[in-house]
Structure 1
Amino acid sequence: MLLSAFISKRFRAHSGQKDGQNGFVSFIAKASTIGILLGVAVLIVALSVINGFEQQLVHRLLSVVPQVEYVAPNKPINNWQSKVALLRSQAGVTGAAPFISVNGMAQYKSELKAVEVRGVSPEFENQVSALNQFTEGRLVSQLQQEDVLLGQQIVNRLGLKIGDPVTLLIPQINQQSNTLLAPKRVSLNLAGIIKMGGPIDETAAFIRLDKAQSVLSFDENQVTGLRLQVEDVFAAHQTAMRVGQVIPDYVYVSSWFRTQGSLYQDIQMVRTIVYIVVFLIIAVASFNIVSSLVMEVREKQANIAILKTMGAQDSTILATFVMQGFTQALIGVILGTIIGVMLALNISELFTWASNLFGDNPLQGVYFIEFLPSKLVWQDIVITVIVTFVLAILATLYPAWQATRVDPAKVLGN
């Protein structure tokens, strides 16, 4: 192996000379190294961004949006206190809270904006939501009777600031004739602004549960739904179906997979596509090693013949050219890993800098975050490095085997 390494090093030094075919072989070898470098770097950065989105989905979006909901379709849920305690005692559940949800309009002066009004209990909401982390002004746990929290985009649309009066228009339905009545006007004060980023800021409006009960003429023991926080968010649907069986009321069962599941599936689909596409790029770059080694074997036939005449075994010749390809891959992997890791660790700052430079943020108002997240997972790097080396070694086997078939008599005779 030491002899093979020494010969491989001499061959690389000779191929690096810029004369005729030697220079062309050197160019092909460097091109394959650069291809591997770019493939490894791109894969590390892409997977880090995908991991970042998945992390933000769990720790940001799913900490605010309902993970599991039980919604009464016809009549309110009675005695919600006992049912919240019952749900909280179930395995896999970390929190439970009541809520009242109704669609309405927010009005300030002559401006109107459609909102989803959600009446929540300040005492229970912190068990199922991290909304306080994304609220400016008064928190959910501090809501007063005449307070309302609105999303940032609602505030921008209406031209509001904290302390301004806001009117909520709540639709009224005649239960006997099932006809729509004139909306009920509820005067409140803007006490806080929700700054989640993305679609949530366009519709979210929070008021106290007892205020919502008063507006809808509910008893203090009546709500329209119950919300859960679960231990394993990726098993939320199974938990929702199992735990929902203990509720005696007729309710619709909903989990975050129904409201946000397409986003999670998109993230996983993009991960798969990135793996396939980038590994194909690495494979193409690896098989460029085949071209460079085939040309080098043809160029080095006289050297191989002399080595065989001096007693070099086929295994020595084989190992020599395998090391040639392995060295090309090693340089590409090392440099690609360094570049990929550095970019992955700083991609969020680079994205923010580019957005500020061009004055455009493509994530604003589209996704649940307005920055490019990144989470570096070392397992992804290990998998990338191992697969790249495997492809590179496989690419060297055929040219190295061809080198062992050189006939010294024919080559030296010519």
Structure 2
Amino acid sequence: MLLSAFLSKRFRAYSGHKDEKNGFVSFIAKASTIGILLGVAVLIVALSVINGFEQQLVHRLLSVVPQVEYVAPSRPIANWQLKVANIESQPHVTGAAPFISVNGMAQYKSQLKAVEIRGVSPSYEGNVSAVNQFGTGKLVSQLSSEEVILGQQIVKQLDAKVGDNITLLIPQVGQAGGQLLAPKRVTLSLAGVIEMGGPIDSTAAFIHLSKAQQTLGYDETQVTGLRLSVDDVFSAHQIALNVGQTISDYVYISSWFRTQGSLYQDIQMVRTIVYIVVFLIIAVASFNIVSSLVMEVREKEGNIAILKTMGAKDSTILATFVMQGLTQAFVGVLLGSFIGVVLALNISELFAWLSQLMGANPLEGVYFIEFLPSKLVLEDIGITVIATFVLAIFATIYPAWQATRVDPAKVLGN
């Protein structure tokens, strides 16, 4: 093995000489190394960004949007206090809260904006939502019955500020025939602003549960839905079905898979596509090693023949060229991993700098966040490195085997 390592090093040094044939072989070898370097770096960065999006989905978006909801389609849910207590006692449930949800309009002066008005109980909402972490001014947990909290994009469109009086237009449905009546107008003081940096900022309007009950004509025990949080968001649908069997009211069961599931599926699909595409790039770069080693074996047939006549075993020749190919892969993997890790750790700042330089943020209004997240996972680096070396080993086997078939008599006789 030591002899093979020594011969591999000498062959690489010889290939660096500046005659035309050796220079071309050296160029092919360097091209394969650069290809592996770029593939490894791109894969590490891409997977880190995908992991970042998945982390933000779980810890940012799913901490605010409902993980599980039970919504009454016709008559309101009565005695919500008892039902919340019952839900909180179920396995895998970490919190429950009542709500009243209705679509309406927010008005300030001559500006109008469609919003989702959500009546919440300040003392319960913190059990199921982390919305307080993204608020400025008054928090949802401090909301009074004469105040409203709006998303930042709504406030921007209305050109309002904290302390202004916002009018909410809430639709009313008549009891007979379900005819649509004139909307109720409720004027509340803007007490706080939600700044998540995503679509919620353009739709969310929080008011006190008692105000929503009063406006819709409900008593204090009636709500339109119950919301809960779970200990495993990826099992939310099954948990929702199990807990739903304990609720006596007729309700629709909804989990985040229905509202945000397509986003999660998109993230996983992109992860799969990135794996396939970038590994194909790495495979092409790895199999460039085949070309460089085949040419090198042809070029060094005389050296191989001399080594064989001096007693070198086939295993020594095989190991020599395998090591030569793996050295190319090792350099590419080492540099690619270093560059990929550095970029992955700084991609968020780099994206912010480029957005500022261009004067536009391509993520704004498209995804649930307006920055490029990154989460470096050592397992992804390990898989990338191992897979690249496996491809490189396969790429070196055939040329190295061809080297062992060199016939010293024929080569030296010519």
TM over 0.5, shorter chain = yes
Match of 2:332 in 1: 332
Match of 1:50 in 2: 50
Deviation at 1:264, TM superposition (A): 0.1
Name the amino acid aligned to 1:176.
Answer: A
SS in 1 for 2:83: helix
Name the amino acid aligned to 2:408.
Answer: P
Match of 1:24 in 2: 24
Matched, 1:318 2:318: yes
Q: How does 1:339-350 map to 2 (within 5 A)?
A: 339-350=339-350
Note the residue ranges of structure 2 that are not aligned, 5 or more in a row: none
Match of 2:245 in 1: 245
Match of 1:142 in 2: 142
Matched, 1:166 2:183: no
Match of 1:60 in 2: 60
SS in 1 for 2:372: coil
Q: Deviations over 1:326-379 (max 9, x none)?
A: 000000000000000000000000000100111110011111101000000000
Q: How does 1:7-406 map to 2 (within 5 A)?
A: 7-406=7-406
Note the residue ranges of structure 1 that are not aligned, 5 or more in a row: none
Q: Write the distance in 2 (CA, Å) between the matches of 1:102 and 1:202.
A: 15
Q: Write the distance in 2 (CA, Å) between the matches of 1:69 and 1:145.
A: 24
Q: Write the distance in 2 (CA, Å) between the matches of 1:284 and 1:30.
A: 14
Q: Deviations over 1:380-406 (max 9, x none)?
A: 000000000000011000000000000
Deviation at 1:177, TM superposition (A): 2.4
Q: Write the distance in 2 (CA, Å) between the matches of 1:289 and 1:272.
A: 26
Q: Write the distance in 1 (CA, Å) between the matches of 2:112 and 2:362.
A: 27
Q: Deviations over 1:190-249 (max 9, x none)?
A: 100110112111110000000000000100000000000000000000000010000000
TM-score by length of 2: 1.00
Q: Write the distance in 2 (CA, Å) between the matches of 1:205 and 1:300.
A: 76
Q: Give the CA RMSD over aligned residues.
A: 0.4
Q: Write the distance in 2 (CA, Å) between the matches of 1:228 and 1:173.
A: 28
SS in 2 for 1:176: coil
Name the amino acid aligned to 1:288.
Answer: N
Matched, 1:407 2:407: yes
SS in 2 for 1:307: helix
Name the amino acid aligned to 1:407.
Answer: D
Q: Write the distance in 1 (CA, Å) between the matches of 2:295 and 2:289.
A: 10
Q: Write the distance in 2 (CA, Å) between the matches of 1:208 and 1:32.
A: 64
Name the amino acid aligned to 2:87.
Answer: L
Q: Write the distance in 2 (CA, Å) between the matches of 1:20 and 1:215.
A: 87
Name the amino acid aligned to 1:251.
Answer: V
Q: Write the distance in 2 (CA, Å) between the matches of 1:295 and 1:219.
A: 86
Paired residues in the alignment total 414
Q: Deviations over 1:42-75 (max 9, x none)?
A: 0000000000000000000000000000000000
SS in 1 for 2:5: helix
Deviation at 1:175, TM superposition (A): 1.1
Name the amino acid aligned to 2:213.
Answer: Q
